[in-house]
Amino acid sequence: MTATDPRPLTGEPVSLDLLNTHWMEEGERQDLLAGTEGLAIWLAANGLDGRFAADEATLRHTRTAREALKGLVDRPGDPDAIARVDAVLEHGRIRAVLTAEGPGERAEFADPSWGPAWTAARDYLDLLRTAPDRIRICAHEACILHFFDTSRNGTRRWHSMATCGNRAKASRHYARTKDQ
């Protein structure tokens, strides 16, 4: 039985969900990937637990991917950030396959402990292909969570209207009433 996922935001695409293994709670930075127990939670949350082990090697490689993706999100186009993501992608490949349902693809890894890291990096490429302008970081200054904006008009600003959006509105209201 896997422990409960403590993160405030889950269900994002796997690349952003990996970034969201860091979050703020009461002013303290939290890290789900502090150990293999947290890795097991993250793997289960993304349907990867049946394919990959929550061991030290997988944890190390998954953290490497998280830092590489964070660099690319913070500095899009930065050659060093691109090289770090490419280095993660070097550990896997896509093999074309024919299945009973028709054409398909299968990811292959020389070292399966790179599987989750590669999967997250590959997912980020898919997001960049689909809608790079919809990859966002929460607009609340104390929040470090990332999300893929699926709103109709593409104007979502907060990872959650109930938490960060509400805090921002309350802050603005407080500032207005304090000045009066």
- Interatomic CA distance for residues 70 and 81, integer angstroms: 8
Cβ proximity of 5 and 49 under 8 Å: no
pLDDT tens track of the chain, all 180 residues? 558 999 999 999 999 999 999 999 999 999 999 999 999 999 999 999 999 999 999 999 999 999 999 999 999 999 999 999 999 999 999 999 999 999 999 999 999 999 999 999 999 999 999 999 999 999 988 899 999 999 888 878 778 666 785 665 555 545 566 666
| pTM, rounded to two decimals | 0.87
